[in-house]
Amino acid sequence: MADFQEYLQPGKKGLLIGAGGVSMSPLAEVLHDAGLVIVGSDMSESDNTLLLREKGIPIFIGHRAENITPDLDFVVRTAAVHDDNPEIVAAHARGIPVFERTQAWGAIMRAYPNALCIAGTHGKTTTTSMCTHIMMAAERDPTVMIGGTLPLLHAGHRVGKGDTIIFESCEYYNSFLSLKPTIAVVLNIEADHLDFFKDLSDIKQSFREFAARVPESGVVIANYDDENTMDALHALDRRVVTFGFDHKADIYPDHIVRRGAQSEFDIIYHGEKFTRVVIHVPGEHNIRNALAAAAATSSLGIGPTAVKYGLAGFQGAGRRFEFKGKFHGADLYDDYAHHPSELRAVLDAVDALDYERTIVIFQPHTYSRTAALFSSFAEQLRRPTIAYLAEIYAAREQNTIGISSADLAREIPGARFYPTFAEIERSLAETARPGDIILTVGAGDVFRIGEHLLNESN
């Protein structure tokens, strides 16, 4: 297999499949700015495809074999683009090398003295966003790749001129094993993506290999409170800095004061007070995310003042406990949670707030995840005052299992399953009242319910 590094040369021409995607559009920008000739393709127009065109990057709409021209030197795709894609078929037929997105990013990372890669089953987007806020407060002008929208950037990415790249790093299909971190963050490890990984042991081995990609001069940031993380990284021949609530961790919080969605606490680093911070996102999990961000950025030489002000300015990332508006007097939020542990973290955060009733509209994400974690989903969905179940979001899968959200609803007393969003919206219009918090939850398109309700009520 060719090394993408060979193609990082001005004048080389490449096609990016799915160029309008959140991970591909910044890659197109970086390659274009490096002097490569970049074209792209996507299934539909978007703000990102329009922005790329404005930068002089042609975009084909629709995937067709004729987009693979003889002058192409390489093609880049994401894991979501399979071998039967007509552009992939044509590239293989012409002998044009096809790279995964993270292979390209991994090659690009070699040009940065500092590559901060944030991984974990949960919390990646929030922690990557917190690191971005801190590095911006320190005026380090980072390049950033986030799996969600960050209001500070008005996007999910940023192309900077500094010496640091901050990268949200996903374990699915072992994609993060193509990256070149100098600092690797492991937030937590749980059973997920079991349509690819064999079991939890397989997942832990993947994270260990990710951490081992850090050079001997680098640092691994690890969650001391997470048994799976510490087991996976046991006896790793790298410098490891731990964070967590346990005072045996290298970095831990002290003198925590919670006021609604806000938490204030001291960050203790190696037994000494590093700084006192305020974060404006609720939940114990976000305190941990802030500790991880502080540990990672301080390993890059960032001082306490930038950590303090960077975290203070963070108000949340898109679709991470994001306030959307008022509906019938209720507060309506949206969250990307699609794993039982993420649901638990969101509901724990809500429990600390002063609402009379909690109404959750949950859309499971993929049939395989729903089946594998069925009882854990049911356990968490028994907690809200009212639980609505939307049908499972298929994403990349076919329903060969024969599972439905109706099966979950039968395990949850009082749960309401509706096969269409319109039915859920009609029921919410009759149910919601002042004093409620309404949460649309899931990694699919369940957020459209809240957006439609708010549009209709305005």
> According to the model, what pLDDT value does residue 319 have?
84
Q: 112-312 sits in which CATH class?
A: alpha beta
Superfamily of domain 322-457 in CATH is Mur ligase, C-terminal domain (3.90.190.20)
Measured CA to CA, the distance from residue 212 to residue 181 in angstroms comes to: 9
Q: With b meaning 16 or more CB within 10 Å and e meaning fewer, what string describes 439-457?
A: bbbbbbebbebbeebeeee
Q: Which two tokens stand for residue 104?
A: 């390209």
> According to the model, what pLDDT value does residue 289 have?
98
List the chain domain ranges: 4-100, 112-312, 322-457
Question: Following DSSP, what letter does each residue of 196-265 receive, concatenated?
Answer: TSSSHHHHHHHHHHHHHTS-TTSEEEEETT-HHHHHHTTT-SSEEEEESSSTTSSEEEEEEEEETTEEEE
- Strand 143-150 versus strand 155-158 pairing type: antiparallel
* Active-site residue set: 124-125, 168
pLDDT tens-place string over residues 54-85 = 999 999 999 999 999 999 999 999 877 889 99
Packing angle of the helix pair 284-298, 340-351 (nearest 10 deg):
110
> According to the model, what pLDDT value does residue 1 have?
57
For the chain, list residues with pLDDT below 70: 1
First-to-last C-alpha distance (Å) of the chain? 55
Superfamily of domain 4-100 in CATH is NAD(P)-binding Rossmann-like Domain (3.40.50.720)
Q: Are 415 and 388 in contact (CB under 8 A)?
A: yes
Nearest to 22 by CA among 125, 131, 113: 125
> According to the model, what pLDDT value does residue 302 have?
98
Residue 145 CB burial class (10 angstroms; 0-12, 13-18, ≥19): buried
